[in-house]
Homo-oligomer: A and B are copies of this chain.
């Protein structure tokens, strides 16, 4: 990062990615914001120093977002910054963890400060909303725009929502409408460039269910976030828990804008296989349903029961194939499911 005409890595970090560090605190002191976040030593040394609370578990996850693979390169820089952090926060939400700290590795094909300013605005906007502190980073020059974020959260011992906890007889439920992000991606490729369009917004600016995950972590048996698509992620849940599932396709919540845009059959297809929804998929004992629903509604959310966990492996259900409704076994679908979301719809 050292062209004569462009600022170096250190200067870029100082300008864009030390925003919660007051100038007076840019040496060894941390800002009040960072101290509240448990940061003992922030950016500027070889490592950040963090103080997780005693008795808690640390949850750690990493995700890379590549231009034109995980997001359209021509989306606004602000949306790209928001989205890169959102998909990582969603992994903390999926464990019921409280967001604490993140580090950022950014590979840039060029130094475009207007772009960096927008990116940082999107990143910090979401970071402040969820009270997660940026504590380190690395900026490199490369051919391809690439954003890798590692997030850290804490969760009480025995308190995490895991993929291995689903039990036969559990209800399967999701925290919101599915398929909208896929519909938004399709709309984007059809030329829709209004980032406030509800479907486009669902794709570019997902809202990770962080508060939801924390508020219900003690009430559910297991769960994860829906990033690869409902069927693929349900497959992960079942595989790790050693169970199967039966879906009620008619119960899967679909956004009205999605149905209006794609028709009901394709909307359901988007909900099943589209991915990028970042809603939570939960398994819970039937006697917990009322409590989970109430906790989610308190946060302005909702609980949609969409099926049940079975002892027999495999995912069965009733879905539209475009040729009418029929039974299916989702192993076939899983084999087709994309791993790592492509931006081509």
| B224-A45 in contact (CB<8A) | yes
Given known A-B contacts A1-B339, A44-B163, A58 and B62 have beta carbons under 8 A apart: no
| A103-B62 in contact (CB<8A) | yes
Q: Which of A83-142 contact B (CB under 8 A)?
A: 90-92, 94-95, 97, 101, 103-105, 107, 135-142
- Tell me which of B10, B27, B104 contacts A62 (CB under 8 A): B104
Given known A-B contacts A64-B138, A69-B141, A141-B69, A47 and B95 have beta carbons under 8 A apart: yes
| B45-A240 in contact (CB<8A) | yes
Given known A-B contacts A61-B103, A136-B61, A137-B62, A91 and B2 have beta carbons under 8 A apart: no
Q: A224 contacts which chain B residues (CB < 8 A)?
A: 45-46
Closest beta carbon of chain B to A250's beta carbon, Å: 28
Given known A-B contacts A105-B63, A150-B150, A240-B28, A162 and B2 have beta carbons under 8 A apart: no
Given known A-B contacts A27-B242, A69-B142, A51 and B58 have beta carbons under 8 A apart: yes
Measured CB to CB, the residues of A under 8 A from B are: 1-2, 8-10, 27-28, 40-41, 44-52, 54-55, 57-64, 66, 69-70, 90-92, 94-95, 97, 101, 103-105, 107, 135-144, 146, 148, 150-153, 155, 157, 160, 162-164, 224-225, 240, 242, 337-340
Closest beta carbon of chain B to A232's beta carbon, Å: 10
Bound-state CA distance A258–B105 (Å) is 33
- Tell me which of B62, B107, B138, B144 contacts A136 (CB under 8 A): B62
| B52-A52 in contact (CB<8A) | yes
- Tell me which of B49, B66, B163, B164 contacts A95 (CB under 8 A): B49
Bound-state CA distance A162–B63 (Å) is 29
Bound-state CA distance A136–B94 (Å) is 15
Q: A45 contacts which chain B residues (CB < 8 A)?
A: 94-95, 162-164, 224, 240
Bound-state CA distance A164–B25 (Å) is 12
- Tell me which of B27, B52, B66, B142 contacts A164 (CB under 8 A): B27
| B40-A61 in contact (CB<8A) | no
| A155-B49 in contact (CB<8A) | yes
Given A45-B240, A60-B152; 20 other pairs, CB 8 A cutoff: A1-B339, A2-B338, A28-B240, A46-B225, A47-B60, A47-B61, A47-B97, A49-B57, A49-B58, A50-B57, A50-B58, A51-B57, A54-B54, A60-B135, A62-B136, A63-B138, A64-B107, A64-B148, A66-B142, A107-B144
